[in-house]
């Protein structure tokens, strides 16, 4: 499965089980305030718009050994009322319940995987079939106080032939600030139900007959964990650079899948963002 480069481009306010069933996220997207955001008492514009692009160095398939550079753009449009359109989060509405707590309802697209994807230099997923994108509906709960930012997200597929449910939890902690630069430590866990885990990590009898992979039944549960760090450096009032490094660990039945060639691996990335 391909990653949502959000893992690299946008900071990790959460790990979303997908990028597929396991992607990583964050810059402030979809109107979420970060620990370094402006005071709630400050006058906010009706619209906040940001766009960016970046590159990451990571496996082409989650758990694979074939690394390559992956480029991705980012766009976020947020209205003061709470409505947002974001290239990673999707379309939705966020409500600020208290100064610390927020909740959002959203519609988003799942990740996709081509059977031409490589899991190592000489092996592709040919014969496994492509996994197409599907619309998902979900809810996200956020908590932010001081240097802490916690987010939980639940997503459910709306496509009858690609059903599945995903749950993710992300925790960020800001450890250093200087001259507007911010260093944040990131952590996260993601999980999926049996349908989601089987789609991404399982191998059916029919797929096993078409490939060199042994048949494998993946059950629901944890799929991966992440530890990382993000350095954000504002260059002026519009431009911002973000760099990231993370270690990803496959968990549960995903770690034992014949499609996974390494249970733990690192990722690196950087991105530029422009805000209006």
Sketch out the chain's domains with CATH numbers. 6-37+44-275 (2.40.160.40)
- Which structure tokens are listed for 147? 């240097």
Q: How far apart are CA 128 and CA 210, in angstroms?
A: 8
- Whole-prediction pTM: 0.84
Q: Are 10 and 237 in contact (CB under 8 A)?
A: no
pLDDT digits (tens, 9 = 90+) for 113-154: 999 999 999 999 999 999 999 999 999 999 999 999 999 999
Q: Are 83 and 93 in contact (CB under 8 A)?
A: yes
The confidence score (pLDDT) of residue 202 equals 97
The confidence score (pLDDT) of residue 43 equals 67
Q: How far apart are CA 241 and CA 167, in angstroms?
A: 29
Per-residue tens of pLDDT for the chain, all 276 residues: 444 444 444 443 333 333 333 333 233 333 344 434 444 455 678 999 999 999 999 999 999 999 999 998 999 999 999 999 999 899 999 999 999 999 999 999 999 999 999 999 999 999 999 999 999 999 999 999 999 999 999 999 999 888 999 999 999 999 999 988 999 999 999 999 999 999 999 999 999 999 999 999 999 999 999 999 999 999 999 999 999 999 999 999 999 999 999 999 999 999 999 999
- Within 66-220, strands assigned E span 67-79, 83-86, 90-96, 101-109, 118-120, 123-124, 135-145, 148-157, 165-178, 181-192
- Which structure tokens are listed for 198? 């089987």
- Which structure tokens are listed for 9? 């481009």
3: which DSSP letter? P
Q: Which residues contact 205 (CB under 8 A, 6 or more apart)?
A: 215
Q: Which residues contact 41 (CB under 8 A, 6 or more apart)?
A: none
- Which structure tokens are listed for 140? 């996200």
pLDDT digits (tens, 9 = 90+) for 46-62: 999 999 999 999 999 99
- Which structure tokens are listed for 171? 């925790």
């Amino acid at each position: 499965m391909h990653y949502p480069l959000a893992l690299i481009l946008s900071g990790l306010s959460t790990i979303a089980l997908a990028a597929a069933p396991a992607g990583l996220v964050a810059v402030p997207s979809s109107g979420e305030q970060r620990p370094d955001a402006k005071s709630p008492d400050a006058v906010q514009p009706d619209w906040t718009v940001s766009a960016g692009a970046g590159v990451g160095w990571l496996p082409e398939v989650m758990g694979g050994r074939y690394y390559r550079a992956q480029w991705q753009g980012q766009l976020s449009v947020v209205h003061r009322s709470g409505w947002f359109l974001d290239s990673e989060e999707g379309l939705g509405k966020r409500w600020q319940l208290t100064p610390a707590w927020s909740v959002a309802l959203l519609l988003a697209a799942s990740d996709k995987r081509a059977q031409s994807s490589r899991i190592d230099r000489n092996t592709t997923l040919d014969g496994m079939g492509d996994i197409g994108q599907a619309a998902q509906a979900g809810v996200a709960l956020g908590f932010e106080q001081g240097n802490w930012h916690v987010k939980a997200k639940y997503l459910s597929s709306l496509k009858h032939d690609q059903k599945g449910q995903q749950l993710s939890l992300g925790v960020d902690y800001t450890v250093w600030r200087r001259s507007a630069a911010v260093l944040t430590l990131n952590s996260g866990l993601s999980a999926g139900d049996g349908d989601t885990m089987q789609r991404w990590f399982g191998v059916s009898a029919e797929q096993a007959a078409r490939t060199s992979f042994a048949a494998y039944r993946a059950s629901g549960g944890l799929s991966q964990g992440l530890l990382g760090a993000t350095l954000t450096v504002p260059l002026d009032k519009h431009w911002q650079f973000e760099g990231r490094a993370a270690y990803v660990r496959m968990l549960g039945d995903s770690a034992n899948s014949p499609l996974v060639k390494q249970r733990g691996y690192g990722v690196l990335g950087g991105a530029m963002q422009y805000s209006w």
